[in-house]
Amino acid sequence: MISNHPPYKTIFFILCFFLTLSSCSDNSEGENPVLPGQISWKTASSVTADAGSATLSISGTTGVKWTAEITAGASWCSFVSNDFTGSGQTVHGEVKDGLNILYLYYAANTDSEERTAAISFTFDGETEPHILSLKQVAAGQSVLPDFEGGYAETPAHKQDANYIYVTHYVKLDNRNVRNYSLCFDKTKKAALWVAYPLHKAYTSGDAGRVEDWNFDPSFESSFQPELFRSYKNSNNNSYDRGHQIPSADRQATDEMNRQTFYFSNMTPQLGQLNQKMWGKLEAKVRTYNCEDTLYVVTGAYFANTSTTTYDGAGNLVPVPTNYFKVLLRTKSGKTGKYVSDCTASELKAIGFWVDQKSYGNVEPPRSICTSVADIEQKTGFTFFPTIPDAVKQDYNPTDWNIN
């Protein structure tokens, strides 16, 4: 992982810069009123559990004075590198010509819970401060990128105390690459969506099914179903440990495939669905691979929680009423561009809405096809937020080889 620390010479320059600014007079009597400035995160507002620094970008009229204060999290955040004693809690400055940045340093988080710091930033002439927050994830948990500049397949975040957001990474060709991201609902003991890119780089290989069933190490096992053994039969129904990101979509390395066997990726899925039509749908999705990337979000929907079953340890868990997939790719498959840089005419998308029932051993029918916008309305999630709405409102099953 690339360090967030600036070079030591840069740190020395910034510290001297702050000391110089702190000695400047705040006397502005007789001056014209100063317009307020703007402050925002130049880098992400969510950071890893490792120690590092985040960057704030300051803009405004040259000469406007400002004050930044850490109002929450001063025990692990500071405006002075490696000083978490509280002496680096406040800093003063003024807007200069050119680039204006401020580093916020943070210590490593060794706890099992995420934590949040708050920064109050005030420009002279303003009556209300700007409040920014910095979230540091728990030890061992990965950061789900902020949406701006984030991954094309990652749905927009929804704030909910019961949601846990996780991104899993793997080594591929000596590089750290994302495997998949998920939004886990503690009350459902299941992921509401799992988002992932699909490309031959992920599917080419002979990893096979490692069958290494295990808890997701990114968050507490008490929130997850225990699935070393499969779900117990309930109400004369036989439920499989149904993958949301399929094992067959991750064949490049054993590590990549192993992560698909985390319990956070499982839901109780009827065997007559999982092993037949749903399995054929998963296989068909893999045929949509292209030189550009195919983006996939698979999810479970709970219209109600009245149907339940038991996990391998005998704990009661709700059963999804529906499953869905939403897909996005370029029409030609070989533009060489990010989807966020494509026009609506260059993109195509489709959704699949599936009932928790047996469809028989059939190919995916047209009846399950719908628009991404329709599934957004059904689930309340916003998918592929960087693309034009027109792409999400349109779909053509024939374009996806659905007869």
The pTM of the whole model exceeds 0.85: no
Q: Is residue 25 part of a domain?
A: yes
Q: Quote the number of domains for the chain.
A: 2
pLDDT value at residue 149: 42
Q: What is the CATH number of the domain that holds 92?
A: 2.60.40.10
Q: What is the pLDDT of residues 34-45, one digit of tens each?
A: 445 788 876 567
- Asked if residue 149 belongs to a domain, the reply is no
Q: Same structural domain for residues 392 and 356?
A: yes
Instruction: Confirm whether 281 is domain-assigned.
Output: yes
- The pairs formed by 381-385 with CB atoms below 8 angstroms and a separation of 24 or more are 381/155, 381/156, 381/158, 381/192, 381/193, 381/299, 382/155, 382/156, 383/155, 383/297, 383/326, 383/328, 384/152, 384/153, 384/155, 384/295, 384/326, 384/328, 384/339, 384/349, 385/147, 385/155, 385/156
Residue 236's pLDDT is 73
Q: Are residues 208 and 95 part of one domain?
A: no
Range of the domain at 205: 163-400
In a domain? residue 143: no
Q: Quick one: pLDDT at residue 7?
A: 44
Say whether both 231 and 311 belong to one domain: yes
- Please say which residue of 136, 153, 187 terminates a domain: 136
142 within some domain: no
Q: Give domain status of residue 94, yes or no.
A: yes
Segments in the chain below pLDDT 70: 1-36, 42-44, 140-150, 234
Closest CA to 105 of 14, 207, 204, 39: 14
Q: Is 336 helix (H, G, I), strand (E, B) or coil?
A: coil
156 domain-assigned:
no
